[in-house]
Homo-oligomer: A and B are copies of this chain.
Amino acid sequence: MTAGRSSAAKTGVTRVVCEQLAPRVGDLSHNKSMALDAVRRALADGADIVVLPELVTSGYVFETAEEARTTAITVEDPFFTDLSAVLAGTRSVVVLGFCQHADDTDDTDDALYNSAAVVDASGVRAVYRKTHLWDRETLFFTPGDRTPPVVDTAHGRIGVLICYDLEFAEMPRRLALAGADLIAVPTNWPLVEHPAGQYPAEIIQAQSAARANGVFIACADRSGVERGQQWTQGTAVIDQFGWLTSSVAGSTASSDPSVSEQRAAADLFLHLSRDKAISPHNDLLGDRRPDIYTQETPLL
C-alpha cells in the first residue's frame, strides 16, 4: 500500500488556498453563501485546491443537539450542486467541513456527523466523517467509523483529516502510506495559550505530520469570535519538510479576531511528496519497522 515513487507524477505548480472564515453559528443560509463566496475569491486568485474550515456551513459552538440538527445537510443538498456549479469549467478542488445528516442508503439512523467533503466540478468526490471528536462535539456528533479516503484529483492525491484527527499520528501516516500528496485539514482550533515566540501547538502537530510523512498539509482554521470562543487562527500551508510556506499565525492581523477573512496561499510542487528519500540511505516510509511496532513493549 506504499505509494510507489514510479507513479505518474504531475510536474506543474499547484496553488493551494486556505480561506480562514467566520461563519455564524446556526445560520445555514448565510454560511452557505459565505462559503461559496470564499471559493469564488480563491478561484479568482488562481486556486487549484481550496480548503475551508471545519463545519463551515453550520458554525461550531452549538448550545444543543437540536441546534446542530437545524444546520445539518446531506450530500444531496443543493449547496453541493451550487458549489460544483461555481467550479464548472475548472479543474479545481474544494475541501470543506459541514454538519452532515446521514440519510444515504446505507444509513438508516438519524445521526449527525462532523464531516468533510471533497468537491470538484463533477460533484462530491468523497465524504469523510471525523473519527476523533473533540470535547463537546461528542454531545452532538456520532464519530465516523471509516478511515479517511485519498482522492485522486487533477492536482494530485488529496487526503482529508478534520481538526483533532491530526493529533493522532496514525492518521496522517495512513494517508501517506495510501499515497496522499497533500492532506487537507478543515479545522476549528479553539484558542489556547502558548509560549511567546513559539507557534501554536496545533501547527507544531501539523508540521510534525508533514515532515514525518513527506506530505504537504493545508489547514483552514476559523476566525471571528463565536459565542465568546476565540480561535487560534492557525490557517497555514506546510511543505513536505514540515516548514510553514504560508501562515496566518504570526502575521500582525492574526491577533485581531475582528478580521473575519484571512488566507494562507502557496504555490506548491505537490509531486515532490512522491520522493520519500531523505538521505542516500533513508526513505521516510520505507524506513518504518512494522515488525517492531507490533511487538509487546517490555516494562522492566
B-binding residues in A (CB < 8 A): 1, 125-126, 131-139, 143-152, 157, 164, 167-171, 173-175, 177-179, 194-195, 198-199, 201, 204-205, 207-209, 211-212, 241-244, 279-282, 284, 287-289, 291-293, 295-300
A298 interface neighbour in B131, B149, B169, B241, Cβ under 8 Å? B149
Q: CA–CA, A297 to B242, complex, Å?
A: 23
Are B282 and A179 touching (Cβ within 8 A)?
no
Are B242 and A170 touching (Cβ within 8 A)?
no
Known: A134-B279, A149-B297. 13 other contacts (CB 8 A): A125-B300, A135-B280, A135-B282, A144-B292, A146-B295, A147-B293, A157-B299, A167-B211, A168-B212, A169-B170, A195-B244, A205-B211, A208-B209
A242 interface neighbour in B1, B152, B201, B299, Cβ under 8 Å? B201
Are A1 and B177 touching (Cβ within 8 A)?
no
Contacts A281-B135, A289-B131; is A169 near B173 (CB within 8 Å)?
A: yes
A208 interface neighbour in B205, B244, B281, Cβ under 8 Å? B205
Are A132 and B289 touching (Cβ within 8 A)?
yes
Contacts A135-B280, A168-B288; is A147 near B201 (CB within 8 Å)?
A: no
Q: CA–CA, A150 to B295, complex, Å?
A: 13
Q: List 26 A-B contacts (CB under 8 A).
A: A125-B300, A126-B300, A134-B279, A134-B282, A135-B281, A136-B281, A145-B292, A146-B292, A147-B292, A147-B293, A150-B299, A151-B300, A167-B212, A168-B288, A169-B212, A171-B292, A174-B293, A175-B297, A177-B297, A178-B299, A198-B199, A201-B242, A204-B204, A205-B208, A205-B211, A208-B209
Contacts A212-B169, A280-B135; is A195 near B298 (CB within 8 Å)?
A: no
Nearest 4 pairs of A and B residues by beta carbon:
A208-B208, A169-B169, A178-B297, A147-B295
Residues of B within 8 A of A173 (CB): 169-170
Q: CA–CA, A50 to B146, complex, Å?
A: 44
A138 interface neighbour in B169, B195, B281, Cβ under 8 Å? B281
